[in-house]
Structure 1
Amino acid sequence: MDQWLWMMIIFYCLSSGGGGVVGAPLVPAMFVFGDSSVDNGNNNFLSSIAKSNYMPYGIDFYQGPTGRFSNGRTVVDMLGEMLGLPYVPPYADPTTSGARILGGVNYASAAAGILEETGRHYGERYSLNKQVLNFEDTLNQLRSQINPSYLPQFLAKSIAVMVFGSNDYINNYLLPSLYSTSYYYNPKDFANLLLNHYARQLLALYNVGLRKFLLPGIGPLGCIPNQLATGKAPPGRCVSYVNEIVGMFNEGLRSLVDQLNSYHPGAIFVYGNTYGAMGDTLNNPATYGFSVTNRGCCDMGIDLAQITCLPLSIPCTDRNQYIFWDAFHPTQAVYAILAQRAFSGPLSDIYPINIQRMIQI
């Protein structure tokens, strides 16, 4: 039996409250980097107004409100279950140390982006650069727990999930009153700016030992309630300009995946077509059991463009029929679709291979 499997068995015995385990682990660990869509509690420990550690968030999660921006589990919670891992703990939690980090750590932070400045109007957050530094701190801790001769294999078999880009548009480029990027960069140049920053940090993670990367693209942000509330789209339609500019980023990210795979044959970088998966769900809601596509399930008050639910508000009861939970984030039901497509979907969903194949390499 592989050493990492023995370690994970010991970890499960030592851990408590680590929900999500569905079987023997298929990988040693999962390290999660990203924004609010995969934040599982880091912003609870930061001086930020981008928090979700209150009801009705978590209304369908066994632990209640945890800092997840969802009514229940997130896409990485579900991917972790498919991989046989416990829910990975948030880096900022003081108890995230010792045996708890052996199955992975979550560094994601609400309002964070690829650019350092993104989301600054919400207060503290872990930017992409800071999340990479935080991973290196975890790596130092792992060196004291894992045999040095085995650590490279542990890292190479683990999966890094990177969910970035949305905030660089919603909470930067599309807010000209707060950020100057749209004055200095046209959409194509801005996408290239983001991708260049992104590539440098991906290589930093590669250089310290990670080898398997899942890189989801940005979804159709022009269709989220936050953007629909701006009034820049005809009734029943999405904001086409927003979808067009995030499409430039997605095209570039898919090309970047090809380049990274070409120049790093010992690693595998995978592009997740979030735009296509969400677009299919929005265009064919009844096929997936949804009936409400243009507004969030939770109460966001008069300002329908705000991102988070009103504290202690009563959400809709038919949550599985809603695509969006709040003005920005999908419901747990949608995350289940995205997770399944990433894990076992065809090339149109995940390129060049799905996670099921990735873990076999």
Structure 2
Amino acid sequence: MFVIGDSLVDCGNNNYLRSFARSDFMPYGIDFYAGPTGRFSNGKTIIDFLGDLVGLPLLPPFEATITFGRDILKGVNYASAAAGILDESGRNLGDRFSLSQQVKNFKSTLSQLKRKMDERKLEEFLGKSLVLMNLGSNDYINNYLIPSLYPNSSRYNSQDYADLLINHYAIHITVLHNLGLRKFLLAAVGPLGCLPNQIATGDAPPGKCVAFINDMVEVFNKKLISLVDQLNANHTKPSTFVYGNTYGVFTDILNRPDDYGEKLYSSSTILIN
């Protein structure tokens, strides 16, 4: 499994970077056996749970494979907190691996894999691997929604900005596919208007999420669904592209928290990028 994304799936890459977007300190990891590891969570992330389901160990962060020679044969996590689809997103928080840099980092791993197996085995290995991509949040909360630092909100309306993001996303997904990866899970952007830092702006009634931000995110998610459909139409099996409805999952948690009981507090990812 190879993971490309932001803080929701970062497992420690930012520990090695000069960044304000770090979580290698308490209370992060308070319910995790190894304590604070760079996961932006009290416990396991969704990647860790998914790995449990498919029988994979915890994936090493890319930087640990370079610095300490961690094993790459079960997969690598390239995710970086504050990263976005656009290179500029998140620069207000310091260093991070943007989508384009994460793709370059995967190419570095691929070079290592080529030294470990012949061409046929590598093709089979990549074809069976799962690629999980979770990006887009920082292109809004650490770009478009900070007009004092980024000009994009004056350059693009929400439709055009979503098109810009999707077009960049599609280019990098195609690069990964051309490198041999075949099974992709593309996660939606969650309800960003419900993040504490957005509610704190006062742009919503007490106890409510900021509706115009969630509407903006839904524009992106609808275009992501269309991209997934297009990718499946353009590539025959065994290539598979799946849309992960992150927005729906978190909206359900927010609307019906009692249905989730203690699980909501003991193992959920903290919604902070």
Structure-1-length-normalised TM-score: 0.73
For residues 220-231 of structure 1, what are the structure 2 equivalents within 5 Å? 220-231=191-202
Cross-structure match for 1:90: 61
Aligned counterparts of 2:104 and 2:68: Cα–Cα separation in 1: 16
Query: 1:290–1:323: 8 Å Cα contact kept in structure 2?
Result: no
Cross-structure match for 1:243: 214
Cα deviation for residue 97 of structure 1 reads 3.3
Cross-structure match for 2:124: 153
Cross-structure match for 1:121: 92
Query: 2:204–2:211: 8 Å Cα contact kept in structure 1?
Result: yes
For residues 6-21 of structure 1, what are the structure 2 equivalents within 5 Å? none
Cα deviation for residue 154 of structure 1 reads 0.4
The DSSP-based 3-state class of the residue aligned with 1:254 is helix
Gap regions ≥5 residues in structure 1: 1-29, 293-318, 330-361
Cross-structure match for 1:288: 260
Q: Percent identity?
A: 58
Residue by residue over 1:134-154, the C-alpha shift from the partner in whole angstroms, topping out at 9 and shown as x without a partner, is: 000000000011222211010
Aligned counterparts of 1:54 and 1:60: Cα–Cα separation in 2: 13
Does residue 328 of the first structure (1) align with residue 272 of the second (2)?
yes
Aligned counterparts of 1:110 and 1:101: Cα–Cα separation in 2: 21
Cross-structure match for 2:112: 141
Change (3 A) 1:96 1:244: farther
Query: 2:41–2:269: 8 Å Cα contact kept in structure 1?
Result: no
CA RMSD of aligned residues (A): 1.6
Cα deviation for residue 289 of structure 1 reads 1.2
Does residue 262 of the first structure (1) align with residue 233 of the second (2)?
yes
Specify the code of the residue in structure 2 equivalent to 1:149: R
Cα deviation for residue 236 of structure 1 reads 1.4
More helix by share: 2
From 161, 164, 167, the equivalent of 2:135 is 164
Aligned counterparts of 1:231 and 1:207: Cα–Cα separation in 2: 45
**Runs of 4+ off more than 6 Å:** none
Query: 2:43–2:268: 8 Å Cα contact kept in structure 1?
Result: no
Structure scoring higher RCO (CA < 8 A, sep ≥ 6) equals 2
For residues 62-81 of structure 1, what are the structure 2 equivalents within 5 Å? 62-81=33-52
For residues 97-108 of structure 1, what are the structure 2 equivalents within 5 Å? 97=69, 100-108=71-79
Aligned counterparts of 2:32 and 2:155: Cα–Cα separation in 1: 43
Query: 1:162–1:216: 8 Å Cα contact kept in structure 2?
Result: yes
Cα deviation for residue 323 of structure 1 reads 6.6
Cα deviation for residue 95 of structure 1 reads 4.4
Q: Aligned residue pairs: how many?
A: 271
Aligned counterparts of 1:284 and 1:185: Cα–Cα separation in 2: 35
Cross-structure match for 2:243: 271
Cross-structure match for 1:358: none
Residue by residue over 1:280-310, the C-alpha shift from the partner in whole angstroms, topping out at 9 and shown as x without a partner, is: 1111111111699xxxxxxxxxxxxxxxxxx
Residue by residue over 1:65-84, the C-alpha shift from the partner in whole angstroms, topping out at 9 and shown as x without a partner, is: 00000001100011011110
Query: 2:4–2:78: 8 Å Cα contact kept in structure 1?
Result: yes
Specify the code of the residue in structure 2 equivalent to 1:159: L
